[in-house]
Amino acid sequence: DNKEDKSFDNLGSLIESRLKESEQARLYDEKRGLRSYRNYRGIYGSDMAFRDSEKSRVFVKVTKTKVLAAYGQLIEVLFSQGKFPIGIFPTKVPSGVSEYAHIKPENMKNPRMEDIYGFDGDGRDMSPGATADSILNGLAEKYAEAGFEKGPAPDLKNMPQIEPAEEAAKNMEKLIHDQLEETHAISVMRHVLFEMCLLGTGILKGPFNYEKPEHKWQLNEKGERAYSPTKKLVPRVEAVSCWDLYPDPSAVSLDDAEYVVERHRMNRSQLRDLANRPFFDKDAIEASLYMGTQYEERYFEHDLYADNDPTYSEGRYEVLEYWGVLDAKMAKEIQLDIPEKTSDLDQVHINAWICGNEILRVVLNPFVPERLPYQVVPYEKNPYRFFGIGVAENMEDAQLLMNGHVRMAIDNLALAGNLIFEVDENM
């Protein structure tokens, strides 16, 4: 109805206004990032003024060398084991599972102890809905009827002892590594680390559940191999560029940010694929596709994506992803499922996607407790800004001095051919 349409229009206007506020607040950070990117690429900006006597435009890429060195050292430390850098360890005082468990000698006479792992057809299958006991937690199936008791063994020579908390943690770590490897999390993490070194801030998003296709071929009725893929629900993390994240302008860290807006540049296929994800409005997506591309290029994007290429054109859709608070009154107007007793002055956490004038998705924040699904990691923390300081920014003065000296040296060589340079390679 008209009232609901107006409420959705108000939500879209609210998200766009918050995006504009964040854009104004992070203008200084964008200029810092642009200077860092140019120094890394070896490009002089339009604000660089050369004297009439300067003929050379050489650019010595010392910034690139230092950024890649810092990035390489981080990769060496984090991925030296060849797996995602995450580990699960039990706390000093584990809850829900015993730190130690042992078997008394009298329990070791149990003939079932000959095979505590079990085998097919032994009649020891777990019944549906069975839960782990307080001693072994998730390991109860593995050590069923083994006769373990809580606490460390008084005599380690005669009493077998296990550490359920340690073993449960290792099993969890193995599962997490398997899931991350399937979703190429190492490549995502490398992108986060590179932007952290170059621009000063790395941003990791997630984890979210995604349906991953598993490729399978089976014999059909004709005896021919036919492609019959299946879908598997897996967690996935994403790398978010600093250029695309717009945080609460009054926040100096993600912990005190009321909202963030992520800006997506999508082509038609990417926008259409959103219809396959949960809670997206297919009619709104079709309407956005019908309206055509409406991406507004920011001033810094031509330098980033086109390198001043005159043939570069955008032709994309701008999709805004909003995570943050919303007044309960507006949440009721757009018919979000919130408790009836919620006061109009209260706030609820939502996730909304908009494209132009269309609301593609509005749901309550699915995380319990509510949180913004981003991890923001600075290379060097700036205590009074949301975005950190990177290697390229720290190298800015040294880069300018190096360029100036080398340009001067080359111009002098052009004027006087008898100039001699002595280089100490050890320095």
For residue 118, what are the CA distances in angstroms to 145, 147, 153, 163, 168? 11, 15, 24, 20, 19
3: its two tokens: 């009232």
**How many whole angstroms from its chain centre is CA 120?**
42
Rounded (5°) CA angle 135-137-138: 145
Number of other residues whose CB lies within 10 A of the CB of residue 382: 15
Rounded (5°) CA angle 210-129-151: 100
Query: What pLDDT score was predicted for residue 166?
Result: 80
Contact 41, 306 (CB under 8 A): no
Query: What pLDDT score was predicted for residue 305?
Result: 78
Helix axes 185-199, 27-41, angle to 10 degrees: 100
Q: In what order do the strands lie in the sheet containing 101-103?
A: 148-150, 101-103, 161-162
First to last CA, the chain: 74
The structure tokens 């924040």 sit at 365
Task: Specify the DSSP element, H or E, that contains 38.
Answer: helix 27-41
pTM of the model: 0.78
How far apart (Å, rounded) are the C-alpha atoms in residues 75 and 329? 48
The structure tokens 């290379």 sit at 379
Phi-psi region of 289 (alpha: psi -120 to 50; beta: other; left: phi over 0): alpha
Query: SS3 for 309?
Result: coil
Could you give the residue ranges of the DSSP H alpha helices within 224-281? 268-273
Residue 90's closest CA among 161, 170, 165? 165
pLDDT tens digits in sequence order for the chain, 427 residues long? 544 556 677 888 999 999 999 999 999 999 999 999 999 998 887 777 777 666 778 889 999 999 999 999 999 998 888 788 888 888 877 777 776 776 656 555 544 444 445 556 655 555 454 444 444 555 555 555 555 666 666 665 656 666 777 888 888 888 888 888 888 888 999 999 999 999 999 999 988 888 888 888 888 888 888 888 888 888 889 999 999 999 999 999 999 999 999 999 999 999 999 998 889 999 999 999 998 888 888 888 877 876 666 666 668 899 999 999 998 888 888 888 887 777 878 888 999 999 988 999 999 998 888 899 999 999 999 989 999 999 999 999 999 988 888 888 877 765 554 556 778 888 7
How far apart (Å, rounded) are the C-alpha atoms in residues 119 and 132? 19
Q: What residues does 187 pair with on adjacent strands?
A: none
Backbone angles phi, psi at 294, to 5 degrees: -140, 30
Query: What pLDDT score was predicted for residue 307?
Result: 65
Q: Compute the chain's Rg from CA coordinates.
A: 29
How far apart (Å, rounded) are the C-alpha atoms in residues 322 and 352? 5
With a CB cutoff of 8 Å and minimum separation 6, the contacts of 237 are 180, 183, 185, 188, 189, 204, 205, 206, 207, 208
261: its two tokens: 């807006």
Query: What pLDDT score was predicted for residue 188?
Result: 92
